[in-house]
């Protein structure tokens, strides 16, 4: 029997994996494959944090497949060439894969389809990572949605089907093709000590993803609607890296949340608020599909003329290292560096500070997030930065500039989040924890703080920065 090759590159899971389930249902040998492709034109190499996550996740997936009598074949190179070699080595002519939405991946999938057809087979492309495929939803005029609310209003009515259970048996081929070792992918962090804090916080893999979902829906979700804006609270799902790395499907998350809602109608506001965030992920991928230039170019072309600063610089480095002199900004950037993740409210605050107070290009921030986030995702990252910068779809107006002090006082009232990630400020009273530069010298001395030495002075004057940003907006005549 000819085997089926299944590409698992973007679906590192067994549960709700229609491509895998369909292959197993054929009753023929199945060869699961992971391909690290950093050579196909248009690809973007993973950042350091995501590489660390993938190293752990692939090991977990390999264990799961081994427990079912199967194995995970590891390859590197241009996807089309790797697939061609696998078909020749195994005698297979059918490939199963789960659709991706980056333009280069879509082109690669089409090329694989042509290759399989030329050999008398086929490439079967399955849905699996979104609730709704981008081409299945459009406005009444036949155009893609560019505003979230009407998009989600329509999308909710199009969600059908239920998650597919994991296979209980995977038929192995008589002979396995040659595989690289996971260590050959060079995902090991260098230096290794950099990732030690990540390992204490995160457990990658499908099993951990489901445990996290169960924990969230088991009680944390009851405080989601309001708590999700408070960075010191454990009120969010923290499922984003698992979704990004394909260890759990959006469909599984969505239907499990709906099941909880059926059992606990009193939780409707919190669960509805959570499901809406799944909708934002759908919307961002919808934008990426229809506007493939989104990761590099503004969706609003007039922003091409905006005078953002670009390239490296001391101010950009201060932002990256959490040394701006504004506690909520610095706490967020240090959380990112120490944990590979940042609370979503704080992501908006630090992004606004970079592109509006500092007048730095959103692409510089997007690139830093790409390298340091364990949930770095092409669609979410680009759409999020463009939203804050005012140049994306359904974006916040550019003139809406977050005040980091007011945001900090509102969402971290007692300074718990700041104290966790800026221990050098922990002795400051609440009145000054958000703005140590306003504290009397006696208060600073009592708290053991010397501005400019133990904690930096602010790198800019916010009032002047605001006026400069608004002046740039006016000068560009957007």
Q: Which residues are catalytic?
A: 277, 280, 308, 344, 362, 385
Give the three-state DSSP class for 238. Answer: coil
Phi-psi region of 142 (alpha: psi -120 to 50; beta: other; left: phi over 0): left
Element (H, E) at 31: strand 30-36
**How far is residue 350's CA from residue 417's CA, in Å, rounded to a whole number?**
14
**Burial of residue 140 (number of CB atoms within 10 Å: 0-12, 13-18, 19+):** exposed
Helices (H) and strands (E) in the chain, counts: 21, 5
Contacts of 329 (CB under 8 A, 6+ apart): 319, 322, 349, 350, 353, 404
**DSSP of 49-89:** HHHHHHHHHHHHHHHHHHHTT---EEEES-HHHHHHHHHHH
Contacts of 146 (CB under 8 A, 6+ apart): 287, 299, 393, 394
Cis peptide before 216 (omega within 30 of 0): no
The structure tokens listed for 115 are: 């290759």
Contacts of 211 (CB under 8 A, 6+ apart): none
**How far is residue 22's CA from residue 98's CA, in Å, rounded to a whole number?**
11
Phi-psi region of 27 (alpha: psi -120 to 50; beta: other; left: phi over 0): left
Reported residue count of the chain is: 478
Chain centre to alpha carbon of residue 95: 27
CA atoms within 13 A on the CB side of 24: 21
Cβ atoms of 95 and 112 closer than 8 Å = yes
Chain centre to alpha carbon of residue 137: 23
Chain centre to alpha carbon of residue 274: 16
**How far is residue 151's CA from residue 441's CA, in Å, rounded to a whole number?**
53
């Amino acid at each position: 029997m000819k085997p089926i090759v299944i590409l698992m590159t973007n679906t590192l899971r067994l549960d709700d994996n229609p491509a895998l389930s369909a292959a197993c249902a054929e009753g023929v040998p199945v060869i699961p494959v992971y391909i690290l492709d950093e050579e196909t034109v248009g690809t973007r190499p993973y950042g350091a944090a995501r590489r660390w996550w993938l190293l752990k996740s692939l090991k977990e997936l390999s264990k799961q497949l081994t427990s079912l009598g199967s194995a995970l074949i590891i390859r590197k190179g241009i996807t089309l060439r790797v697939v061609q070699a696998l078909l020749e080595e195994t005698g297979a002519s059918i490939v199963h894969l789960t659709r991706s939405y980056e333009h280069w991946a879509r082109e690669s999938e089409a090329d694989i389809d042509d290759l399989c057809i030329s050999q008398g087979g086929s490439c079967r492309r399955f849905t699996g990572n979104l609730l709704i495929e981008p081409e299945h939803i459009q406005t009444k005029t036949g155009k893609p949605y560019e505003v979230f609310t009407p998009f989600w209003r329509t999308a909710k009515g199009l969600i059908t089907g239920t998650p597919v259970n994991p296979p209980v048996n995977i038929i192995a081929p008589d002979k396995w093709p040659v595989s690289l070792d996971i260590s050959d992918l060079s995902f090991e962090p260098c230096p290794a000590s950099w990732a030690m804090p990540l390992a204490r916080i995160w457990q990658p893999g499908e099993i951990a993803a489901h445990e996290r979902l169960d924990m969230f829906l088991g009680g944390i979700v009851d405080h989601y609607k309001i708590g999700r804006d408070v960075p010191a609270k454990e009120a969010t799902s923290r499922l984003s890296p698992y979704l990004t790395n394909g260890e759990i499907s959006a469909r599984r998350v969505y239907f499990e949340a709906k099941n909880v809602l059926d059992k606990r109608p009193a939780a409707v506001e919190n669960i509805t608020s959570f499901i809406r965030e799944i909708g934002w992920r759908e919307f961002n991928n919808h934008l990426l599909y229809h506007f493939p230039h989104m990761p590099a170019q503004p969706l609003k072309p007039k922003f091409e003329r905006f005078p953002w600063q670009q390239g490296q610089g001391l101010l950009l480095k201060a932002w990256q290292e959490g040394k701006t002199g504004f506690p909520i900004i610095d706490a967020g950037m240090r959380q990112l560096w120490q944990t590979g993740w940042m609370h979503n409210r704080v992501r908006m605050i630090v992004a606004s500070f970079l592109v509006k107070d500092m007048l730095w290009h959103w692409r510089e921030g997007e690139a830093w997030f790409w390298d340091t986030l364990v949930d770095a995702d092409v669609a979410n990252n680009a759409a999020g930065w463009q939203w804050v910068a005012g140049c994306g779809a359904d974006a916040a107006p550019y003139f809406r500039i977050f005040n980091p002090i007011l945001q900090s006082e509102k969402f971290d009232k007692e300074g718990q989040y700041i104290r966790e990630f800026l221990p050098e400020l922990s002795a400051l009273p609440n009145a000054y924890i958000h703005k140590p530069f306003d504290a009397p010298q006696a208060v600073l001395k009592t708290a053991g703080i010397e501005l400019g030495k133990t904690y930096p002075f602010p790198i800019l004057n916010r009032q002047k920065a605001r006026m400069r940003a608004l002046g740039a907006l006016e000068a560009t005549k957007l």
